[in-house]
Structure 1
Amino acid sequence: MATYYKHPTALVETEDVGEGTRIWALTHVMGGVHIGAHCNIGSHCFIEAGVWIGDRVTVKNGNMIWEGITIEDDAFIGPQVVFTNDRRPRSPRFPGARARYETKSWLVPTRIGRGASIGAGAVILAGCDVGPFALVGAGAVVTHPVPAYAVVFGNPARHQGWVCECGDKLQPHGSKWRCPSCARVYEQIGDELRALS
């Protein structure tokens, strides 16, 4: 007996779905996918074999998540985010490209870090990892890796500030960064941020 909810119109071919997860209408999850516990997978999604989704992840409606994508615990994927996994795609059925697709050498994995949030309609290019608790704005085109706690938006996405684990924008606090909502303090080292409290 399943320990997760599957809408009657969802097609779930994997047996690797965690307890308490909910998979909504007209979503197709292929075999070979891992979905953790207490996730919410919205309507009209397609999740290809080879995807790994952690615990407590929210995937909103209309997402296509391709092989090689890893989404860590507590991440949020807004509606209609576009992921890619091949930097130079061709039809595998085209005779001139067939040899390239006989191995997985074309596959470029991408990791969405723990607690990261990807806004609606963002495009994440192959290999552009998004660090833990980073925030990618709606419609952003991510062409480079995004550091932990960074706020990026635009086309191409550019660093626009820092965000706390709780989701609020960080404010300068002497030589550190501080959250006005939860009072967490962070230290900037070069182009990266790390939590101190």
Structure 2
Amino acid sequence: MSQDIYIDASAHVSDGAKIGQGTKVWINSQIRENVSIGENCIISKDVYIDAGVSIGNGCKIQNSVSVYQGVTIGNDVFVGPNVSFTNDKVPRAFNSDWQITETIVENGASLGANATIVCGIKIGEYAMVAAGSVVTKDVPPYTLVVGNPARIIAKIDKAGNKVS
């Protein structure tokens, strides 16, 4: 497999972004300044990655995801289509005291399609967020959460299988 970086002609990647070997950036994606993306990642169609975001190695960021300032994504993380991250606890168009609130997604986590990740939380290693869930508090490692608000329904292994 080639270790070349691929950037689609329709994508816009800031000169200040760092992209690892083997990473592919697809149609209409935008990667802002001071972004760091690891090796062998897939940045799918219509993805927006805001300034200063860090994404580890081996991640898959699916179609139409916006990853805003303050989000840090570890290695081997799956972010499903249309996942929404927030970065402001009190969003207002006119807030002069605006502060970014950090969110951390640890290694191996999986975020299902259309999940909403409210800022200021940590999603633990190999945790799984079910499609459509609204995550409002920390998700412990090796757990499956579902619903609105998301709640733990099972302990899981690295592969996402339920364990006793």
TM-score (norm 2): 0.95
Q: Deviations over 1:60-103 (max 9, x none)?
A: 00000000100000010000000001100111xx3xx32x14xx
Could you tell me how far apart the structure 2 residues matched to 1:118 and 1:127 are? 16
1:135-164 deviation line (CA, Å, top 9, x unaligned): 000000001100000100000000000111
2:74 maps to which of 53, 72, 75: 72
**Root mean square deviation, CA, Å:** 1.2
Counterparts of 1:114-133 in structure 2 under 5 Å? 114-133=107-126
User: Aligned residue for 1:8?
Assistant: 9
Displacement of 1:20 in angstroms is: 0.2
1:159 paired with 2:152, answer yes
Shift of 1:15: 3.5
Which protein has the larger Cα radius of gyration, Structure 1 or Structure 2? Answer: 1
- Number of residue equivalences: 161
Q: Structure 2: 5+ residue runs without aligned partners?
A: none
Letter in 2 for 1:158: R
Q: Unpaired segments of 5 or more residues in structure 1? A: 173-197
CA displacement, residues 27-85 of structure 1 (integer Å, 9 cap, x when unaligned): 00001100000000000011000100000000000000000100000010000000001
Which residue of 48, 57, 60 maps to 1:58? 60
Same amino acid, percent of matched pairs:
39
